[in-house]
Amino acid sequence: MTQNVDTGSGIVAARSPAELASGAEVAPVSLESAPLSPVGGHQSCEVLLLDDVELNNVLMAQAIGGIRGCSTVAFTDPATALAAIAAQPDRFASVVTDYEMPGMDGISFVRRLRAIAGFQHVPVIMVTSFDQRRIRREALEAGITDFMGKPFDAIEVKARLSNLLALDAARRIERDRSAWLAREVARATRTIREREREIVIRLARAAEYRDTDTGNHVARVSMLAGSIARELGCDPAWCTDLELASTMHDVGKIAVPDSLLLKPGRLSPEEQAIVRRHAEYGYGILEGSASHVLALAAEIALTHHEWWDGRGYPRGLSGDAIPLSGRIVAVADVFDALVSDRPYKRSWSRDEAAAHIDAHAGTHFDPACAAAFLRGKLWTRAELLPQDQDTSACQGSTFLF
């Protein structure tokens, strides 16, 4: 049964203990003084009250009613209050708890309250008639934000709680602003990456116009290089960058005469030397960029024709002196070149090309990269096979591997 209680500052509806224990809302009554707003007067908030004495909850609810936008939910049992908070940790803007309660005192309650995810920074006021330094120290260590004595003053309740709620509202606004900024930075980063990807793809297309096979070749090399890197256990983000950067491994061919790129049959030693310059041309086009992908592409362009045993070009690097990106793309590039028709040769079968990779591990290719290629049976993937593959054997052409 509900009855009205005159507190001296106004009338409130007192709830039964059962209603309070269930979290029934205590109807706030405005005080005579001007109401304060903790959040600029445009948002509402709920304050959880915990006191084993029902009348104390009623009196506190009346005092808090003087804060514009605030309502209260009262509990007389700490365990029930904790369950309500755990079920909806974002519901309550603040907690006002008594210290001396049967079964669980206010300090124990706050320790358990602070362990609830999302409730570490919510303001908590402890109301106590004790003024012992030890109790206050333990309460502060448990996570109490502020204290009020008994009997409490309604004006003091309004002032203290309003200040705490205003500070918490500012913290929440700052948190939301930080989250918004993080989202904006992530969005801007995605936009930059998309534009970077577009630039890279357009640069790769430049090579397509010089070599009729290069367009599909760079796409297959990109997929194969990424697959080898993943088989090696490389960082996923780096694998993605490698896939994109490897599309420009032959961008330097735009500086090589068509008469050599499209020449059927063997190239003379002088012509081979000219074609081989495409590695340095590509590096010259791509070097010096602040873009990580373009820097990786420059590294690949320069080193993907180096051999593990040092017999490659343009710098004769060997072993681990060759960047991993170049070693990976070397396997991908040679495999796809072998299974593709070129002006100077006919295509090999995929099994023949895979056998070539295996046979030249440790001489041409990094053994680990070759093993990753073979272990993953990457040459069996249909998307890595040229659409017009001819499985006839190579006819003694001059390779530029």
- Domain residue extents for the chain: 3-178, 209-384
Fold match between domain 3-178 and domain 209-384: no
Is 392 a residue whose pLDDT tops 60? no
The predicted pLDDT at position 210 comes to: 61
CA–CA gap between residue 381 and residue 227 (Å, rounded): 11
Nearest 10 degrees: CA dihedral of 213, 215, 220, 226? 140
Residues sharing a CB contact under 8 Å with residue 106, sequence separation 6 or more, in sequence order: 50, 97, 98, 99, 100, 126, 128, 139, 144
Q: Are 93 and 45 in contact (CB under 8 A)?
A: yes
CA–CA gap between residue 198 and residue 369 (Å, rounded): 28
Q: Considering the domain 209-384 in this protein, what is its CATH number?
A: 1.10.3210.10
Residues sharing a CB contact under 8 Å with residue 38, sequence separation 6 or more, in sequence order: 45, 67, 69, 70, 93, 161, 162, 164, 165, 166, 168, 169
The predicted pLDDT at position 382 comes to: 56
**Domain range 3-178, its CATH number among 3.40.50.1980, 3.40.50.720, 3.40.640.10, 3.40.50.2300:** 3.40.50.2300
Give the β-pairing of 70-75 and 124-128.
Answer: unpaired
Give the β-pairing of 25-26 and 3-6.
Answer: unpaired
| Chain centre to alpha carbon of residue 291 | 20
pLDDT digits (tens, 9 = 90+) for 20-78: 344 444 444 333 333 444 444 435 788 999 999 999 999 999 888 878 788 899 999 99
Is 212 a residue whose pLDDT tops 80? no
**pLDDT mean over 101-109:** 91
Percent above pLDDT 90 for the chain: 40
Q: Are 143 and 113 in contact (CB under 8 A)?
A: yes
CA–CA gap between residue 280 and residue 294 (Å, rounded): 15
Tokens 């070097």 correspond to 287
Is 165 a residue whose pLDDT tops 60? yes
Which pTM value belongs to this model?
A: 0.55
